[in-house]
Amino acid sequence: MKLYMVPLAPNPTKVMLYIAEREALGTSFGIEQIVVNTLKGRHREPEHLARNPFGTLPVLELDDGSYLIESLAIMEYLEERFPNGSLMGTDALERARARDLERVVELRIAMPMGGYVHAKKSPLGLPPDPVLAQSIEDKLQLPLNHLESMLADGRPLLMGERPSIADCTLQAALQFLRFIQADLIGDRPRLRAWDERYRERPAAKAVLKW
């Protein structure tokens, strides 16, 4: 299999973290990772559009030459195909809870944070929009408070002792913020401790560049 990706971008990074966490737990996926340089517009070229008509990353090329083009579907496919060392848990409820939290993180935190980065200091050169940035920052407070409350029971990672897809998605979003020297964790000591703890993990050290 091949993963088409680009470092820094949140959606590819979450899958790269997922792969690195699983490999650290002993799974050998044998996935070749290939950079598609979005800064040079390579994701809009016919070669990449043939893989994914929407031009986004990540894309997983399967052994039969077909593609998966959504980050969550890629992680779930790897979960189902290589169940030992799962990052989603083993029974129906554990898996639903992992998916539940990953969706909260993705939809209420990671996607808005991506919008925030582009509104503040877009790596793609989009014009700054301070009003939009402030409105996104305001809306992020509730979901960030939710994570801070969850961590009150002392769990080291978002789902407990083991890493989960939610950790991968959140850390990928925070790396994007760090790239523009932004910090929206605020006065949330447990979330800040989680961030520092997660970034010490071998998988994080191998994948994160910022």
Ligand X SMILES: N[C@@H](CCC(=O)N[C@@H](CS)C(=O)NCC(=O)O)C(=O)O
Binding interface with ligand X (CB under 6 A): 9-11, 38, 43, 55-58, 70-71
Name the packing angle between helices 165-179 and 111-121 (round to 10°).
10
DSSP code at position 157: B
CA-CA-CA-CA dihedral for 137, 142, 144, 148, to nearest 10? 150
Q: How far is the CB of 4 from ligand X (least distance, A)?
A: 10
Closest distance between ligand X and the C-beta of residue 39, in Å? 11
Closest to ligand X by CB, 7 vs 143, is 7
Residue 75 in tokens: 């992680």
Alpha-carbon separation of residue 7 from 26, 35, 38, 131, 194 (angstroms)? 23, 8, 10, 28, 22
Nearer to ligand X, 43 or 201 (CB): 43
Query: Closer to ligand X at the Cβ: 3 or 147?
Result: 3
Q: How many CA atoms lie within 13 A of 23 on its CB side?
A: 15
- Rounded least distance, CB 115 to ligand X, Å: 11
Question: Residue 27 or 38: which CB sits closer to ligand X?
Answer: 38
Contact 1, 29 (CB under 8 A): yes
> Nearest approach, Cβ of 15 to ligand X (angstroms)?
8
